[in-house]
Structure 1
Amino acid sequence: MIAETICSAVSAAGLGIAAITAYRKRFLAAARIAAYSLVPVALAMTGIVKWAANTAFSPMAWAGFGVLAVAWLLFMTTRAVERRRGGTRKERRAAAKAARQGAAVEPAASAPSLGPGARPAAQPKAKQPAAKPADDFSDIEAILKKHGI
């Protein structure tokens, strides 16, 4: 009963504001305010306000909201884990099947190109002969020639 009275009062106040707005020759805004002010009365007349009031004070309803929150957290956690693993189980199985069939690229082809100086530590390094002093400046000269200097 009190909820319906409050809804009626809010609607009456909104319609009063709409009337003042229409008096100021802002008819479009007045019509929008009137539409918004009729919503609380409509909700009270349909019984949604009574249902919402009963739900707000029901411990069983709050327990249901808690269970919904736990379910939502589980969904979000599983999505985050799927993103870290690289997709769903079905997508990972399809990728593994394609790799077994030889559709995957060669392992060395996907390695980043880091240049001749950067090699994995697992490979033994070949000894390089000591560079001549004249060779030290050949790289610099090549760079300067490249830039036209």
Structure 2
Amino acid sequence: MLTTTLCAALSAGGLGIAVMTAYRRRFLAAARIAAVSLVPVGLALAGLVTLGRKIGTATAHWAADLVFKPTVWMGFGVLAVAALLYGVTRLISARVPEGGGAAGRGPAAVRGGPEAPAIAADRPAASGRRSRGADGGLSEFADVEEILKRRGI
């Protein structure tokens, strides 16, 4: 009740200043002052002033609990562990090749089937093989051909 009265008084004062500004023929400035002066009464009528008070009170209680309750610190510790665990799993998943099968060889290795050429092409070339620059990028096809010959295809 007191909050609504205070907001109404602020709006009335602002509207009075807007009327005096309009009297001096500064209508644009007067309209702006009137718009700003209607904000407190609008906030009070919409209930946002009491909402702000409740949020402020809740924040103050939480801050007091933060200082005086060890369970709040434990909560922050749990959140830190969760964030760390999530970050570590993201880093590890970035290093594991696509497919994630047994020994990093892809799902075909788990089933016992032939290895996929795309996975073989992602592996670094073994020593003794030709480099890509020497044959114009055809070494990928040579790798695939070699795998197919090994599998009897």
Higher relative contact order (Cα pairs below 8 Å, separated by 6+ residues): 1
TM-score by length of 2: 0.42
TM-score by length of 1: 0.43
Instruction: Specify which structure has the higher proportion of helix.
Output: 2
